[in-house]
């Protein structure tokens, strides 16, 4: 797990996140609470146990209707992904479909398992 609490993770305004989806590539948005701002959330392919993880930071997103916090993975190969709570504990799993945006809601408390 990676956590950063730097000012470089300032708000992202509407229209500043570009998604590169189509054919066999999708995107993933993980919605979190404000308390996760700056946290880097890791994901990995579920079909590659022990495989490479990738992470992005949770950022404040300013949209026309208000503010929310999320981590955005703009271009993922289609497949099933594990979302990691920490280095050893999965927070859940999500399927990413080519040409679509998958959405995952970050759990409000730690899932059962190793920590």
What structural domains does the chain harbor? Answer: 2-105 (2.60.40)
Please report which residue ranges of 1-115 form alpha helices under DSSP H. Answer: none
Tokens 């495989």 belong to 51
Q: Tell me the pLDDT band of 113, cut-offs 50, 70 and 90.
A: low
82 φ, ψ to 5°? -95, 130
* Predicted local distance difference test score (pLDDT) of residue 41: 97
Q: What is the pLDDT of residues 44-101, one digit of tens each?
A: 999 988 889 999 999 998 888 889 999 999 999 999 999 999 999 999 999 999 999 9
Residue 2 tokens read as 């990676």
Q: 114 near 73, Cβ under 8 Å?
A: no
Question: CA–CA separation, 106 vs 18, rounded Å?
Answer: 22
Question: CA–CA separation, 29 vs 62, rounded Å?
Answer: 15
* Predicted local distance difference test score (pLDDT) of residue 114: 60
């Amino acid at each position: 797990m990676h956590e950063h609490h730097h000012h470089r993770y300032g708000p992202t305004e509407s229209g500043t996140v570009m998604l590169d989806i189509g054919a066999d590539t999708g995107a993933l948005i993980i919605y979190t609470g404000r308390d996760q701002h700056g946290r880097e959330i890791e994901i990995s392919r579920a079909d590659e146990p022990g495989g490479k993880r990738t992470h992005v930071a949770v950022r404040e997103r300013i949209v026309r209707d208000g503010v929310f916090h999320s981590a955005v993975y703009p271009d993922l190969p289609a497949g099933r992904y594990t979302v990691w709570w920490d280095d050893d504990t999965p927070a859940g799993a999500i399927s990413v479909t080519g040409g679509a945006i998958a959405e995952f809601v970050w759990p409000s408390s730690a899932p059962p398992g190793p920590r």
